[in-house]
Every structure is written in C-alpha cells, then in structure tokens.
Amino acid sequence: MNNNEILLLKLGEVVLKGLNRRSFEDKLVSNVRRRMKPCGSFQIYIRQSTIYVEPQTEDCDMEAAFKAARQVFGIVTVARAVPCAKEMDAIVETAKTYLADEFAKARTFKVESRRADKQFPMNSIQISQYVGGELGQFFNVKADMHHPDLTVYVEIREKYAYIHTPSVPGAGGLPIGMGGRAVSLLSGGLDSPVSSYMIARRGVELEMVHFVSPPYTSQQALDKVLELARLLTVYCGRMIVHIIPFTEIQEEIRRQCPEEYFTLIMRRFMMRLAEAVARKSHASALVTGESLGQVASQTIKALGVTEDVTKMPVLRPLIGTDKVEIIRMAREIGTYETSILPYEDCCTVFTPRHPATRPVLEDVVQAESVLDIDGLVAKALEGETWVRVKP
C-alpha cells in the first residue's frame, strides 16, 4: 500500500438536537486519536465534517488504521484517499486506475474538487471540468451533476493531490463519552454483548458488571466474559469489568425461597448490586440484554418485578428484537463465536423447573423477605474485584 495514503472519516449528518456540535467534534477527534495510537503516528484534524487521518511516518499500519476507523462511533463513512503528483495527468491516471471497478458499475458520474493549495494553477471548477472530461471519455460514462451513480473526489493539498476511493460504512452512532455513563450487566451469553454495543453506540461510556458463582461456575466461564469485554473495547474503549461473587445469594435463595421465584429474586439481587456499582462509578443507568418474551424472566410482568428494586433507568436495547436478529448483530460485531462457547452461567445453575411467568410483585417481595437482603448485598459488594480490560 502507498504510504502517503490518508484516511477520510465522515461525521454523521446527525441532527444534533440539543447537543453541542463543537463538543461532538472534539470528543470524536479525541476518540479517533486514541484509537489510532496503536497503528502509528498520525496527524488527525477536522475540516468541514471530515476527519483527516494522515500518517506521519513510514511505518504506520494503514490497514489497521482503516479497520479501527470503522469501529469508532460517530463516524458514518470511511474512505481512503490515494495520493499522486499535483499534475493533471497524474490525477487523471490515478483516478483511472483506482476507480476502474466503480466506473464499470456506474452509468453517470461527477467530479468534485477541493483545492486547499491556492497556489495550484487551476481552481476547483476547472479541475473538475478537466478531470471529468477525461474520465467521461475514457470510461464512456455520462456526467450528471445532480444524481450521479458515482462521485469522484479530487483534493489538491500541500504536498500531493488526492483521489478518494469509494467510502465504506463506519459504525455510526454518537461518540463515546457524549451520552454519559452506564453499567452494563454482562453475562457470557449472546445478548448482553450486543446490548452493550448498542448502548455504547449511542455515545454511552460503559462499565461492566459480571456475577460469578464459584464453584458452580468456572474460571473458564469468567475468562470468556473477560474476552467478550475485550472484544467490545475496540468500539467502547478500555473498560472496567466488576466481578461480583453471587454464590451465597443464590444458595440462600435456593434454601429459603419458593422455587418458582428463584430466577426473579436472583435478578432483583443483580439489579440491586449493579445499581450499587453504578452509583460508585458515577453511572446513571443500567443496561441488560433482555428481550421481551425470550425466557420466563423476560415477560412484561417479570421485567416489572425485576426493575422494581432500582430507581435507575434500565436500558434494554434488545427488548423488541428476535434471536435471529441478535445473532446477526453478534456476528457483525464479532462476539458470536465467543458467546457460543459452552460454559455454564450462574443463571443456568439454579434454573427452576416451572418459573413464574406472570409474577405478582407483592408475592415476590413477600417470598424474598425471609432473606437478609441488605446483608447479602453488602457482603457481595465486599467481595467485588475488578479488571481493567484493554483493546
């Protein structure tokens, strides 16, 4: 690959209602900078809703940078720009080579030029006309200024001229950090990595909470969750995973509560603990991978019973999705293969044979009242450990 190649990242044409455009851009540029760091030394700046990523040294890994750019929330498209000499012949020849496939598919096209170097002898309209004329003739394609199939971008900059290659979709969404902070309940399943991704994509910075029940759950099960968190860091940035011991709570529930409410009471404890972690971390919402009707504890009534213990908003981005859609998303974001590894989870260890699907809140509250709720919560929090997970 050509080492003078640069990347162009387009910001979302988001309607920044109530949000500040400037802080959106600042956040995004700093997120891009952080994400590009492992790929080499780059100059990164923003002009007219485009972030320019320019390698400063020969050894920049442009493939890695391109891939990373597509994982930054807030970016809608990513394109490479191929450099060539600042001469009209070189520009036309470069466009012919790089865009041959695109021209083969296009019936109409136009050229858009930008001239950062005002010393360049032609202005942008003249450049477009010249390049457009040459390319139209060469590929036998008509010009259309209004609805072209293909737009060719030419930029005349300080050292080189650049031809943009066709753009590919970026991750979309809003820059991480714009949307505050939330705690996501991350299990080893398919759903919660996807729900975490979706909330992060709305600009929310995440910390994870994971409940472990040794010896019922293994070290491998925990490692799998940490690996899922690590896979998410390419989108979400580095994050803390809080690991909370859950064995005693589950054993106490099994010892003292009616079996049909096991899962619900357990989920209420999860919410209490996650809320406590969130308060300590200055997070203001909880995220789960629940989807309506997927299992007994995810009926409308059951969800009501579960969230009754917390005052924080419980965000459930998957609430209206089918398993097929969740699997598709898991594949897209790269968590599928890890999620399907067959390790036990604390939920599967104590599953009731006949869980209540239409629970009445008062009955569940009554059923758990035999437990020392505050004591169990406090003890679990004392046993908390955490791991910082990096890309």
Instruction: Tell me the C-alpha distance between 130 and 109, whole Å.
Output: 14
> Should residue 346 be labelled a site residue for ligand ATP when binding is judged by CB under 6 A?
yes
Q: Binding to Mg ion (CB under 5 A): which residues in 328-367? A: 345
289 marked ligand binding residue: yes
Instruction: Tell me the C-alpha distance between 55 and 184, whole Å.
Output: 36
SS (H, E, C) 66-96: HHHHCCCCCEEEEEEEEEECCCHHHHHHHHH
Find the shortest distance in angstroms from Cβ 182 to ligand ATP. Answer: 12
DSSP H or E stretch at residue 162: strand 161-164
210 marked ligand binding residue: yes
Instruction: Tell me the C-alpha distance between 250 and 254, whole Å.
Output: 6
**321 Cβ contact list (under 8 Å, min separation 6):** 291
Omega of the bond leading into 391 within 30 degrees of 0 (cis):
no
211 marked ligand binding residue: yes
> Should residue 186 be labelled a site residue for ligand ATP when binding is judged by CB under 6 A?
yes
Q: Which x/- pattern over 178-217 shows residues binding Mg ion (rule: CB under 5 A)?
A: ---------x-x----------------------------
1, 7, 46: which is closest to 168 by C-alpha? 7
User: What does DSSP say about strands 50-55 and 108-115: parallel, antiparallel, or unpaired?
Assistant: unpaired
353 marked ligand binding residue: no
Find the shortest distance in angstroms from Cβ 96 to Mg ion. Answer: 54
How many other β-carbons are positioned within 10 Å of the β-carbon of residue 313? Answer: 12
Find the shortest distance in angstroms from Cβ 240 to Mg ion. Answer: 21
Find the shortest distance in angstroms from Cβ 208 to Mg ion. Answer: 14
Residue type, position 98, single letter: Y
Residues that contact ligand ATP, how many (by CB under 6 A): 19
> Should residue 317 be labelled a site residue for ligand ATP when binding is judged by CB under 6 A?
no
Find the shortest distance in angstroms from Cβ 44 to ligand ATP. Answer: 35
Q: Which of 156, 209, 257, 271 binds ligand ATP (CB under 6 A)?
A: 209
Task: Give the annotated binding-site residues for ATP.
Answer: 185-186, 210-211, 267, 289, 298
Question: Applying CB under 5 A, which residues contact Mg ion?
Answer: 187, 189, 345
Question: Applying CB under 6 A, which residues contact ligand ATP?
Answer: 185-187, 189-192, 209-211, 288-290, 294-295, 297, 345-347
